[in-house]
Amino acid sequence: MDDFSNFRYVLVENQEKETGYTFHQEFKNATGIKALKPFEGQLKYSLHVEPGSTGMFIGEISLRGFGCGLMSREELHKSEAALIQQAIAEGKKQNREQNIDVYSFSHGAGAIFVYQN
């Protein structure tokens, strides 16, 4: 771009202890907009922010004119440790050989299997 640029940013500070956050965004038919590192060259990105961390997207836009269609969506997801705890507390328990218990638990992003002896 040139000296007639400005910046657009998305800043996510996740203060949760067990829940992660993902922000998906896509610029369609974009003109006068470009993503900066680490998303450089992309007009579609996903910003994953784990519990207790911060994430940022920075884009440069031209003040001479810009345009785009914009689609975005958000997701919340539990940390691996929280899913393991939930699987043991609420999952289906099966006893296997040699005193091994298997807990299976379905959640919004799939399923988890926890093996415990």
pLDDT at residue 45 tops 80: yes
Report the distance separating Cα 40 and Cα 46, nearest Å: 13
Percent pLDDT > 70 in the chain is: 97
pLDDT at residue 20 tops 70: yes
Q: In what order do the strands lie in the sheet with 110-116?
A: 92-96, 100-107, 110-116
Strand partners, 54: 13
Report the distance separating Cα 23 and Cα 39, nearest Å: 13
CA-to-CA dists, residue 83 to 10, 99, 103, 107, angstroms: 28, 22, 11, 9
Q: Stretch 5-33: mean pLDDT, rounded?
A: 90
